[in-house]
Each structure stands twice: as C-alpha cells, then as structure tokens.
Amino acid sequence: MDIAALSTAMSMTEVKTDYGIAMLSKSLDNMEVMGEGMRKMLEASVTPHIGGNIDITA
C-alpha cells in the first residue's frame, strides 16, 4: 500500500470538494442578486403608469 499516493489522492479529493462548495456558494450569491433584480422588475411592471408621464400644466 502506497501511503504517499493515498495521502495525495485524499488531499486532492478534499481540494476538489472545497472548490465545489466555493463555486456553489458563489452561484447561490449570484442567484440571490438576480432574484432581487427580477423582483424589482416585476414590481415595476405591476405599476407601469408610475413615473411614465409628468403633467406640468397648471
């Protein structure tokens, strides 16, 4: 049994797992930001008449 190879393989597995978790975290953060943008767009589409026209005649 090659202890050095086993240790290296376990270390690489840990690095890959850590990398995967970091990428999933970043993806989740991006999805939250995109969701917030989508929510704002949907809120704006519910009341499209607000801010569309300005009546300056008096």
Residue 40 CA to its chain's centroid (Å) = 16
* Summary mean pLDDT of the chain: 86
Q: Does this model's pTM top 0.85?
A: no
* Average pLDDT rounded to a whole number, residues 3-26: 93
Kindly report, residue by residue over 33-48, the tens digit of the pLDDT.
999 999 988 887 776 6
What are residue 35's phi and psi, to 5 degrees? Answer: -65, -40
The answer to whether the Cα torsion of 35, 36, 39, 45 is positive or negative is: negative
Average of per-residue pLDDT across 41-56: 73
What is the structure's pLDDT at 15? 93
